[in-house]
């Protein structure tokens, strides 16, 4: 029995179960709503869900307007009801909350704020879009492939007649990044045109697509292990899993689980065998991914002191753009927290009518109220992770407005704000992320020490040395485990520092300490928290390389989350493990104060065991176009980068392939030596080669070296924004061996 090919009929329109939904029916008909950009920009637009249940199309209500806009449901992250954006809050007096909603998109794309004509219409769209998002998230591999095929069909079918002639097929190939000579394209077209009608429709297009996407690279692996070239018996599959994927324990049960989960043919399932389709489905799934699924989930010990973890941290969280004229917004906090960020920053200044404001001081960046930031923190702090959030305050406020800040923190956050040590006793060390679940910690200056406040002894802030700090007792009392102190030297810290004290370093100061006393910095960070932040000269909100700071155990390495690039790729890569919870346990040799680790000389540490990494880059699949110019096709190359201690920093590239972004094949092998695998990150980058100018970025994927699964693996590429771009991927073979 052959597994049935996907058919376009169910995916060219919504499935009957979804079509029957009343909310979606009204979305198919279409609705006039107001698109809101500001208090003064409110324009009517006609919105309608397309038949594919994936595209929402909207246009100017003016009958003469020909301009259409659209967005894909797959790009929508969530729907917020009511006045849950700054824009909608600004018009709250004009439109009631039950008519308002916000569409939040993935990546760095701005929100879409809408006001419906009635509460009923708003609910239809809110519930309808949520249903479509749920439906997408619950799709299996086969359904996703069907949807992908359907998208291409629709793009190619210019005259919308449900059929494709040869000219449309030729245009489609260019859109798909395929440079194919006309004779070969016509041969495939004729083979697929079973009805000999001169056009492809429904199943014929699916056949054409399958011929186009035939995976010779995977077939070669399949046939190497298949006894008859048609299927993998249970024993064949077990051999493959042991020899290539290096599975050791419970291989029989795992092989049976893979057959049950990915094999589309019922006959093959009964025979406990796997066909080529099932094998390809397995290799394209999360289990065939380069990332070890057991390490993507929460797997680390979360009961260690806070200073034993790397903590996902944001700098100038309120900014959405640059640091001179950029827009300040509570949206910056929502986006960072949703990405698993666990340390956010506020720059507080005296504001009008006694209300503190947040902005980048002495610049033209816009201003937001401190109380609005605290409200957002209360609402979003624990949506992506239950582990503690640190609110890092840069305080420029008068004592009077500091009291207002303390009031807002206490009243808005309530029990979420940690105001005293956990067990009510004088602590002897930092608590763990597990102990602090659901808590928000304030990082800032504090009058006196934790011991003083526990004993009821508080220095008078207006007396002696403390008067220079201009601190309000109310705000000071909100600081418990993260008291900001000036850093003098590692020797001074070792003798005088308390475990609850934290120092902040500019990137240049941190680099100086790393150069001059790397091993001392590591020991300092085993005892207490350190924060590193970008230089004030980075007015464009660019980022420094966080890896240098992680190499010395700095926990709070604050980056501009609003700025895409290799630095944020590394941050996303490090924190992609451990359930995306924003905390990653540091290696043992960085937590133990009895050990000495110098990132500049890693060979000197106990337990030094370098590894060899071999990556054979085999092929790429459906790489996205980078140049929207019609007819342009990419010349892809793959670069593998190792980010880690200085001795491990390395990069190697494959050759580039001329004019093929659809299914390029390399079979190029790249080799690396990894001296400190526990700190290494591996970044796979695809670029469009250009001999006359800088290569264009196509896609990337970054992960910790320790999370790599060996064997034949797919790497599912991400965009510059860190969002997925299915089904773009690389197919590789990975081997990790001990160096003798």
- The torsion angle over the Cα atoms of residues 552, 556, 557 and 558, rounded to 10 degrees, is -170
Residue 347 annotated as binding?
yes
Whose tokens are 């190697």? That residue is: 652
Q: What is the DSSP string of 637-669?
A: EEEEEEESSGGG-EEEEPPP-TTBSSS-EEEEE
Q: How far is CA 71 from CA 22, 255, 411, 620, in A?
A: 22, 40, 40, 27
Average pLDDT score over residue span 648-659: 96
- pLDDT at position 3 is 40
Edge-to-edge strand list for the sheet holding 55-60: 68-72, 55-60, 42-49, 31-36, 112-115, 100-105, 76-81
Tell me what percent of the residues of the chain surpass a pLDDT of 70. Answer: 91
Residue 635 annotated as binding?
yes
Residue 220 annotated as binding?
no
Burial (CB < 10 A; 0-12, 13-18, 19+), residue 20, is exposed
Give the pair of three-digit tokens for residue 478.
């909100």
Give the pair of three-digit tokens for residue 142.
């086969």
The domain locations on the chain are 11-138, 141-213, 216-288, 306-452+471-590, 608-738
Residue 540 annotated as binding?
no
The answer, yes or no, to whether residue 33 has pLDDT greater than 80, is: yes
Q: What does the alpha-carbon distance between residue 334 and residue 248 come to, in Å, rounded to a whole number?
A: 43
Average pLDDT score over residue span 654-658: 96
- pLDDT at position 646 is 97
* φ and ψ at residue 692, rounded to 5 degrees: -105, -20
The answer, yes or no, to whether residue 340 has pLDDT greater than 70, is: yes
CATH class of the domain at 141-213? mainly alpha
The answer, yes or no, to whether residue 5 has pLDDT greater than 50, is: no
Residue 688 annotated as binding?
yes
Residue 595 annotated as binding?
no
| Lowest model confidence (mean pLDDT) among 297-311, 373-387, 715-729 | 715-729
pTM: 0.88
Average pLDDT score over residue span 584-596: 94
Q: How long a stretch of residues is the chain?
A: 740
- pLDDT at position 419 is 94
Residue 61 annotated as binding?
no
Distance from the Cα of residue 94 to its chain's centroid = 36
Rg of the chain over Cα atoms, rounded to whole angstroms, equals 28
CATH class of the domain at 608-738? mainly beta
Long-range contacts of 180-187 (CB under 8 A, 24+ apart): none
The answer, yes or no, to whether residue 457 has pLDDT greater than 60, is: no
Residue 249 annotated as binding?
no
Of the candidates 429, 457, 141, the residue with the CA atom closest to the CA atom of residue 306: 429
Tens of pLDDT, residue by residue over 180-195, are 778 888 888 999 999 9
Which overall architecture, per CATH, does domain 11-138 show?
Roll (2.30)
The answer, yes or no, to whether residue 515 has pLDDT greater than 60, is: yes
Residue 683 annotated as binding?
no
Q: Helices marked H in 273-423 — which ranges?
A: 276-284, 293-296, 331-338, 370-380, 399-413
Cβ-based neighbour number of residue 141 at 10 Å: 18
The answer, yes or no, to whether residue 630 has pLDDT greater than 90, is: no
Q: What does the alpha-carbon distance between residue 620 and residue 640 come to, in Å, rounded to a whole number?
A: 14
Tens of pLDDT, residue by residue over 439-449, are 999 999 999 98
Q: What does the alpha-carbon distance between residue 689 and residue 697 come to, in Å, rounded to a whole number?
A: 9
Q: Which CATH number fits domain 306-452+471-590: 3.10.20.600, 3.40.1190.20, 3.40.309.10, 3.20.20.190?
A: 3.20.20.190
Q: Which residues contact 18 (CB under 8 A, 6 or more apart)?
A: 24, 53, 131, 132, 135
* C-beta separation of 117 from 32 below 8 A: yes
Residues with catalytic roles = 315, 360
Q: How far is CA 92 from CA 97, 99, 154, 370, 373, in A?
A: 7, 11, 40, 19, 18
- pLDDT at position 145 is 67
Tens of pLDDT, residue by residue over 139-157, are 765 676 667 777 777 777 7
For 144-225, list the strands marked E by DSSP. none
* C-beta separation of 240 from 225 below 8 A: yes
Residue 11 pLDDT class (50, 70, 90 cuts)? very low
Identical fold between 141-213 and 216-288? yes
Residue 239 annotated as binding?
no
Highest mean pLDDT among 9-13, 205-209, 295-299, 363-367: 295-299
- Hey, CA dihedral for 194, 198, 202, 206, is it positive or negative? positive
Of the candidates 263, 262, 282, the residue with the CA atom closest to the CA atom of residue 271: 263
Q: What is the DSSP string of 21-43?
A: -HHHHHHHH-EEEEEESSSS-EE
Decide which of 469 and 622 is more confident.
622
Of the candidates 501, 468, 466, the residue with the CA atom closest to the CA atom of residue 486: 501
The answer, yes or no, to whether residue 472 has pLDDT greater than 50, is: yes
Residue 636 pLDDT class (50, 70, 90 cuts)? very high
CATH class of the domain at 216-288? mainly alpha
Tens of pLDDT, residue by residue over 111-144, are 999 999 999 999 999 999 999 998 888 776 567 6
| Lowest model confidence (mean pLDDT) among 367-381, 462-476, 652-666 | 462-476
Q: What is the mean pLDDT of the chain?
A: 89
Q: Which residues contact 306 (CB under 8 A, 6 or more apart)?
A: 388, 430, 431, 432, 433, 436, 481, 529, 555
């Amino acid at each position: 029995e052959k597994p049935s090919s996907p058919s376009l009929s169910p995916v060219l329109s919504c499935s009957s179960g979804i079509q029957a939904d009343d909310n979606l029916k009204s979305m198919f008909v279409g609705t006039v709503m107001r698109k809101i950009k500001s208090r003064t920009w409110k324009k009517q637009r006609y919105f309608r869900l397309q038949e594919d249940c994936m595209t929402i199309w909207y246009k100017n209500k003016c009958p003469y307007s020909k301009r259409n806009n659209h967005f894909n449901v797959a790009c929508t992250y969530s729907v917020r009801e009511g006045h849950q954006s700054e824009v909608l809050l600004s018009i709250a007096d004009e439109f009631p909350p039950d008519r308002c909603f916000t569409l939040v998109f993935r990546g760095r794309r701005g929100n879409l704020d809408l006001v419906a004509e009635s509460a009923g219409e708003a609910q239809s769209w809110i519930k309808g879009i949520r249903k479509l998002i749920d439906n997408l998230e619950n799709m299996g591999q086969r359904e996703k492939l069907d949807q992908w095929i359907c998208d291409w069909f629709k793009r190619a079918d210019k005259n919308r007649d449900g059929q494709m002639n040869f000219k449309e097929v030729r245009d489609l190939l260019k859109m798909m990044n395929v440079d194919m000579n006309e004779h070969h394209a016509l041969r495939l077209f004729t083979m697929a045109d079973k009805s000999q009608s001169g056009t492809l429709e429904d199943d014929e297009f699916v056949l054409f697509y399958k011929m186009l996407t035939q995976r010779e690279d995977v077939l070669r692996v399949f046939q190497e292990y298949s006894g008859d070239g048609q299927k993998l018996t249970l024993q064949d599959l077990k051999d493959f899993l042991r020899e290539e994927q290096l599975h050791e324990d419970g291989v029989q049960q795992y092989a049976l689980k893979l057959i049950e989960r990915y094999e589309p043919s019922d006959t093959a399932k009964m025979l406990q065998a796997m066909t080529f389709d099932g094998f390809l489905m397995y290799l394209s799934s999360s289990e065939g991914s380069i990332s070890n699924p057991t390490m993507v989930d929460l797997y680390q010990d979360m009961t260690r002191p806070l200073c034993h973890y790397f903590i996902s941290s944001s700098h100038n969280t309120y900014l959405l753009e640059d640091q001179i004229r950029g827009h300040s917004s509570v949206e910056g906090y929502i986006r960072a927290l949703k990405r698993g960020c666990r340390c956010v920053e506020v720059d507080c200044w005296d504001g009008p009518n006694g209300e503190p404001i947040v902005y980048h001081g002495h610049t033209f960046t816009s201003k937001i109220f401190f109380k609005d930031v605290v409200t957002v923190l209360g609402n979003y702090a624990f949506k992506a992770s239950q582990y503690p959030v640190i609110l890092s305050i840069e305080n420029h406020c008068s004592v009077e407005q500091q009291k207002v800040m303390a009031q807002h923190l206490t009243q808005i956050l309530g029990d979420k704000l940690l105001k005293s040590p956990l067990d009510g006793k004088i602590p002897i060390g930092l608590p763990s992320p597990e102990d602090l679940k659901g808590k928000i910690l304030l990082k800032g200056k504090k009058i006196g020490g934790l011991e003083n406040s526990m004993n009821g002894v508080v220095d008078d802030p207006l007396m002696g040395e403390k008067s220079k700090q201009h601190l309000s007792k109310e705000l000071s009392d909100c600081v418990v485990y993260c008291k900001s102190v000036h850093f003098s030297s590692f020797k001074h810290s070792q003798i005088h520092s308390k475990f609850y004290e934290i120092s902040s370093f500019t990137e240049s100061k941190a680099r100086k300490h790393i150069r001059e006393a790397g091993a001392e910095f590591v020991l300092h960070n085993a005892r207490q928290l350190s924060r590193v932040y970008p230089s004030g000269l980075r007015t464009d909100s660019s980022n420094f390389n966080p890896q240098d700071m992680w190499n010395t155990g700095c926990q709070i390495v604050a980056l501009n989350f609003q700025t895409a690039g290799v630095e944020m790729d590394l941050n996303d890569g490090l924190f992609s493990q451990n359930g995306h919870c924003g905390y990653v346990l540091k290696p043992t040799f960085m937590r133990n104060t009895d050990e000495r680790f110098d990132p500049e000389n890693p060979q000197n540490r106990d337990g030094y065991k370098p590894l060899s990494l071999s990556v054979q880059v085999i092929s790429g699949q459906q790489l996205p176009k980078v140049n929207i110019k019609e007819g342009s096709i990419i010349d892809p190359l793959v670069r593998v980068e190792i980010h880690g201690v200085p001795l491990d920093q390395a990069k190697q590239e494959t050759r580039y392939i001329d004019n093929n972004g659809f299914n390029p094949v390399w079979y190029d092998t790249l080799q690396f030596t990894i001296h400190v695998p526990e700190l290494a990150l591996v970044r796979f980058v695809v670029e469009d080669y250009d001999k006359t100018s800088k290569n264009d970025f196509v896609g990337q994927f970054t992960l910790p070296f320790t999370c790599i699964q060996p064997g034949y693996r797919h790497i599912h590429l991400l965009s510059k924004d860190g969002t997925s771009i299915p089904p773009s991927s690389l197919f590789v073979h990975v081997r990790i061996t001990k160096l003798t």
